[in-house]
Amino acid sequence: MIKIIGYLNVGGKLLSLIEKLYGPFFDLHNWATVIESENDWLIIFSLVMIECLLSVDNAIVLAAQTRALPDKKDQEKSLFYGIWGAYIFRFLIIGVGTYLINFWAIKVVGAAYLLYLSVNFFYHKLHGNRQKKIIRMPKKRFFSLFWSVVIQIELMDIVFSVDSVLASLAISSNPVIVLIGGLIGILGMRGVAEVIMRLMHKIPELEPMAYILIGLIAVKLFLTIPMIDIEISSTAFGVFIVFMFVMTFVIHWVRTGLKRGKK
């Protein structure tokens, strides 16, 4: 009887934790508030831009993995499964992240990780030996080639989502906003990856600008720990991100004009 009561208590605590983690996603009032708010959509727009820019390399890797499949239908089918898997994992990771990000120690670790991403990018940019994140499947497969590719895509989605979820939660603590931004970003990453690649090729300043933003997001997250307790408005930071994108285009046009003038 005591064991049964103990199991019930553990089960009750587990259900309470699940409700705490994922309850906000099922709060219709929360969704309605976000959808009707112009400021929230500005934040979502900034999250989508960051998601797309940071995920271009990831999209290239994912597309390359599908080429292991000889049939074009299987390639498209594997990406279709990959998208839905990415949505599910993003939902799960955001729920856990929204809970963990409330602990100041997690904020410090998250800020340190984001800062590392930023510094690491510029370090390898200067030394010219930057490497992309790639997960390789073992040569011995327990599944068919098709399902091996799908599993690989899902594993990469999980790893790739850590960066964007941490950055997103540092900008907005509302899980619905982060979820909408993430889902649109995933769709955009898969659908317009080639367009973004061409844009970044034409405007190379976009990539370093994205990692400058990651560094600033790390600082923003670190400032929220209780010992400092400086909260920067998500709306204000969203406006700043849009401003940074606009300035990047302006800087590119000015630099291009100067190069043409020298010729």
84-108 per-position pLDDT tens digit: 777 787 778 887 877 777 778 878 8
Residue 140 in this model has a pLDDT that exceeds 70: no
Q: Quick check: is 207 in a domain?
A: yes
Asked if residue 71 has pLDDT above 50, the reply is yes
Residue 141 predicted with pLDDT over 60: no
- The pLDDT assigned to 60 comes to 54
Q: Give the pTM.
A: 0.66
* pLDDT band (50, 70, 90) for residue 250: very high
Q: What percentage of the chain reaches a pLDDT higher than 70?
A: 73
**How many structural domains are present in the chain?**
1
Q: What angle do CA 141, 147, 153 make, to 5 degrees?
A: 100
Residue 137 has pLDDT above 50, yes or no: no
Other residues' Cβ atoms within 10 Å of the Cβ of residue 105? 9
Confidence (pLDDT) at 56 = 58
Residue 69 resides in a domain = yes
**Confidence tier at 59 by pLDDT (50, 70, 90):** low
**What is the percent of the chain where pLDDT is above 90?**
2
pLDDT at 245 over 50: yes
* pLDDT tens digits, 169-218: 888 878 888 888 877 777 766 665 556 656 777 888 887 888 888 888 88
Q: What is the average pLDDT value for the chain, to the nearest integer?
A: 76
The pLDDT tens digits of the residues spanning 214-244 come to 888 889 888 988 888 888 887 788 888 889 8
**pLDDT for the residue 102:** 72
Mean pLDDT, residues 123-132 taken together: 70
Instruction: Evaluate whether residue 243 is within a structural domain.
Output: yes
For residue 24, is it within any domain? no
Instruction: Decide if 110 is inside a domain.
Output: yes
**DSSP assignments along 180-217, one per residue:** HHHHHHHHHHHHSHHHHHHHHHH-TTHHHHHHHHHHHH
Place of tokens 């800062």: 115
Higher-confidence residue: 80 or 227? Answer: 227
Residue 160 has pLDDT above 70, yes or no: no
CB 169 within 8 Å of CB 97: yes
The tokens describing 107, both together, are 């904020």
Residue 4 falls inside a structural domain:
no
The DSSP 8-state label assigned to residue 27 in this structure reads: -
- Report yes or no on 12 lying in a domain: no
Question: Is 251 contained in some domain?
Answer: yes
Eight-state DSSP code of residue 43: H
- Neighbour-count burial for 140-149, b at 16+ CB within 10 Å, e otherwise: eeeeeebebb
Lowest mean pLDDT across 34-48, 57-71, 79-93: 57-71
pLDDT at position 48, please?
A: 81
* Listed ranges 31-40, 80-89, 151-160; the one with the highest mean pLDDT: 31-40
Residues of the domain holding 142: 30-256
